[in-house]
Amino acid sequence: MKEKIDQYLQEIDCVETSSAEEIEQFRIRYLGRKGLLNDLFEEFKTVPNENKKFIGQELNRLKNAVQEKILMLQKSSLPIEQGEKKVEDLTLPAGQVPPGTLHPISIVRREILDIFSRIGFTVADGPEIEDDWHVFSGLNFPPDHPARDMQDTFFIEKDPDLVLRTHTSSVQVRVMESQRPPLRIVMPGRVYRNEAVSARAHCQFHQIEGLYIDDGVSFADMKQTLLYFAQEFFGKTRIRLRPSYFPFTEPSAEMDVFWGLNSEADHRITKGTGWLEIMGCGMVDPNVLSASNINPDKYSGFAFGMGIERIAMLRYQIDDLRMYFENDVRFLKQFNRFI
């Protein structure tokens, strides 16, 4: 075995090349997984114990010689100016770095929160993994309500009482349980529903909901608040409230803004009506107030909720919901100008 090592040392000493490909082949020949050194170390296992110390030292000498030869060959293969290049001066100005950007969902979220903050609403947050009470029961959902079905809700397998929240209304319940009126809050967050992913739907999306509870809050207060939002965000001065149904509000409504019919795009997104649905809203059901130990005979309130993705799609004329979640830089860099 000593003779093999001496032979390889002589071969290594005679190797001369400036080709990166040949240097790599040399490295693989000796240091690769199936290289000569690997074979020698396997053979080393059969060396008698009294010779192992000496042979081991020779093997290490061979390995070091290979590594030193590779470094020498690599250095000699560099262009002269690169080989003699000194340490870079870190005080020199850096090259131009492309600016980053906020995600369109973040841009719209910030603008909506800013609008409501100007009229006294504060931000509240809550967990995305919630229990049945805060997502359903505390919001007046009956036990047989379709939203509890597996088709709409993601349940936690190890605990059937836990779900991925289907709306940020669960935060309303937590706030009403822990704080006393007057309450004026907005609740942004990510929510989950068991839906097929397509251009118009996704299994995860973002909502902003609002809640205002105080003595003597009326439907007219809600209408004025939402009109203010439509004016500030969309620049629209006409809204309408259509009767609807939600378990946690009574009466309930869908809010539309008059988008207009000034262009072909307006006709397309409003289906020729000029009106565009923006959010759901309504007066908080007395049962919801009672469930959170708020006296419905003394207090009243309203709630509203909108999908941030939908609002952003209208703002930026985006026609595929999936683009928000694909992190395509070509899509995201278009929003530099909106920061």
Q: Does the pLDDT of residue 271 top 90, yes or no?
A: no
Measured in degrees and rounded to the nearest 5, phi and psi for residue 204 equal -140, 145
AA identity, residue 64 = N
pLDDT of residue 294: 94
pLDDT digits 0-9 by tens, 238-268: 999 999 999 999 999 999 999 888 888 788 8
Share of the chain above pLDDT 70, in %: 94
Q: Give SS3 for 17.
A: coil
Specify whether the CB–CB gap between 290 and 296 falls below 8 A: yes
CA atoms lying within 13 Å on the CB side of residue 90:
1
What's the pLDDT band for 209 if we cut at 50, 70, 90? very high
pLDDT at 146: 78
Cα(172)–Cα(121) distance, integer angstroms: 13
The confidence score (pLDDT) of residue 298 equals: 94
Range from 21-25, 71-75, 238-242, 263-267 that averages highest in pLDDT: 238-242
Q: Does domain 104-338 have CATH number 3.30.830.10?
A: no
Query: Looking at residues 1-29, what average pLDDT do you find?
Result: 79
Give the whole-angstrom CA distance, residue 288 versus residue 291. Answer: 5
The residue with greater pLDDT, 252 or 12, is 252
* HSE-up (13 A, CA, CB side) for residue 307: 17
Residue 254 near residue 244 (C-beta atoms within 8 A): yes
Question: How does 91-109 read in b/e, with b if 16+ C-beta sit within 10 Å?
Answer: eeeeeeeeeebeebbebbb
Length of the chain: 339
In this model, does residue 142 exceed pLDDT 70?
A: yes
* Residue written as token pair 């805060």: 134
Contact 308, 105 (CB under 8 A): yes
Residue 83 confidence (pLDDT): 45
Average confidence (pLDDT) over 39-49:
78
At 319, is the pLDDT very low, low, confident or very high (cuts 50, 70, 90)? confident
Q: CA angle, 243 as apex, 238 and 244 as ends, to 5°?
A: 120
Residue 17, pLDDT > 80, answer no
User: Could you write out the DSSP letters of every residue in 267-311?
Assistant: HHHTTTSSEEEEEEEEEEPHHHHHHTT--TTT-EEEEEEEEHHHH
Q: Which pLDDT band holds residue 108 (cuts at 50, 70, 90)? A: very high
- Band of residue 233 on the pLDDT scale cut at 50, 70, 90: very high
Question: What is the model's pTM?
Answer: 0.67
With a cut of 60, say whether residue 338 has pLDDT above it. Answer: no
The residue that leads in pLDDT, 185 or 328, is 185
Location of each CATH 3.30.930.10 domain in the chain = 104-338
Flag whether pLDDT at 79 surpasses 60: no
pLDDT given for residue 80 in this prediction? 44
CA 138-142-148 angle, to 5 degrees, is 90
